[in-house]
Structure 1
Amino acid sequence: MTDGYESIVFDCDGVLVEPTDTAVLVDAVVEAFDAFGADIDRSVARQSVTEDAVPAETACDHGIDPEAFWHYRELAASLAQQTHIRDGGKPVYDDVAALDSIECSLGLVSNNQHATIEFLRAYHDLPTFETARGRRPTLAGAAARKPEPDYVEAALAELGVEDALYVGDSEKDVVAAQRAGIDAAYLRRDHVADVTLTAEPTFEVPDLECLVERITETERPV
């Protein structure tokens, strides 16, 4: 059994695969501005990546249409990550194999680009997810990212479930799950070992093997 959950939905980066090197995404932002004839300081690009921000105001300051810029930036970021993955970046965590013992349906919801998620699924030997959603390459798609519940709710609707668990490694994941009305498991891997949460997850686990053990107990987590 899977502790009564109809489905388990997972974040991707930092949960199933290692996070993307920041430099890869910074390069993509710089490339996008360069493609529109704008020369920006690398520190500005780094800040937008670190803050996970949509640099619409910066684009406007350079006379660039924000929607066109963002679409290009998303394409550049996805292609850069795909190259990074082929070169050995973003490897799958060893404990992902533990998910094979989960009997209920699995879903995947990420703030990364949908094209990047689909590439990861094709390139790596990931579990079978009945639904997988990444962000759409539009400003509206970016606005719907976690902590907004839009993509999580869409995944639940596609799975046809209401009682689910969302597994992530950030406060945004916890908040998105809560807003979607489902439980949240916080995966406290090494890269978030010292993070202090202001939103309280349903429970915490250090790795996916412990997650599987926890959700296959005979009683719901408290």
Structure 2
Amino acid sequence: MRPSTGDVSYDTVVFDSDGVLVEPPARETQLGAARAAFRAVGVEDVAHEHLVDIVDGVTSDRLTALCADYDLEPTTFWAVRERHDERSQFEAFRAGDRSCYDDVAVVSELSQCCGVVSNNHHSTIEFVLEFFGLQSAFDTYYGRPKTIESLALKKPNPHYLERALSELGAEKDATLYIGDSETDIVAAERTGVDSAFVRRSHRRDAVLTATPTYEISDLTEIRPLISS
């Protein structure tokens, strides 16, 4: 991990959403949404490991195989699953079961261009920014569309991060990406930008094989990393 030496100046700061700006979804909520999606298409008895597969970064090939097991058309099932997953997240935010981290207030203090790039739905990121009054803090945001095709573009694929930087007119050597997962750090590496890993409570024991440029415990620690 490279320490801040004061000789790096960042003009652009991009953030992941879940686990960085807002609390991550509860695992049981995610599994429940997947279970509800199967029920909505007429499948009552679903193996637990198949629910786990759906929640834990399912690929298009694995989704096709799972749907074949239950005689489902993948595109139809995935559209239902995404609607249920999105709805479960909206309900959790509205009920106060998920919230915005207090230290997100630091983003509004930054003079740099700021963006959001997440593996979550684009519509969910839009909801989060509006629900917590964060629209003015960010110059752009990218999530993925609710399609099977978007699964291949999730981080660590740098696709959406590169799109955000292009929209912001950002220079890669003056960009910092902040995330809370291995995929965030790898996406930053593949994009050619510096990264900061946020070791919040849910990532306290995480072991990384990729090496972030910085490691921080919360977002207030980005201040000394950024030179104006």
TM-score (norm 1): 0.91
Whether the 8 Å CA contact 2:34–2:55 is kept in 1: the answer is no
1:65-86: CA deviations, max 9, x gaps?
1122112211110111101110
Instruction: Report what 1:156 is aligned to.
Output: 165
1:50 to partner: Cα distance: 5.1
Structure 1 residue 140 corresponds to structure 2 residue 142: no
Q: 2:133 aligns with which of 120, 125, 128?
A: 125
Question: Mapping of 1:1-222 within 5 angstroms?
Answer: 3-41=8-46, 43-48=48-53, 51-54=56-59, 55-126=63-134, 128-163=137-172, 164-216=175-227
Percent of aligned pairs sharing the same letter: 39
The one-letter amino acid paired with 2:181 is S
Matched length: 217
SS at match of 1:107: strand
1:139 to partner: Cα distance: 1.1
Distance (Å, rounded) in 1 between the aligned partners of 2:46 and 2:9:
51
Distance (Å, rounded) in 2 between the aligned partners of 1:30 and 1:86:
21
SS at match of 1:177: helix
1:53 to partner: Cα distance: 1.8
SS at match of 1:125: coil
**Which runs of 5 or more structure 2 residues have no equivalent in the other structure?**
1-5
Q: 1 or 2 for the larger relative contact order (CA 8 Å, sep ≥6)?
A: 2
1:172-210: CA deviations, max 9, x gaps?
000011111111111111111111100001111111001
The one-letter amino acid paired with 1:20 is P
Greater alpha carbon shift after TM alignment, 28-37 vs 49-58: 49-58
Distance 1:116 1:65, change over 3 A: same
Q: CA RMSD in A?
A: 1.9
SS at match of 2:137: coil
Distance 1:60 1:203, change over 3 A: same
Greater alpha carbon shift after TM alignment, 95-104 vs 40-49: 40-49
SS at match of 2:222: helix
TM-score (norm 2): 0.89
Moved over 3 A (4+): none
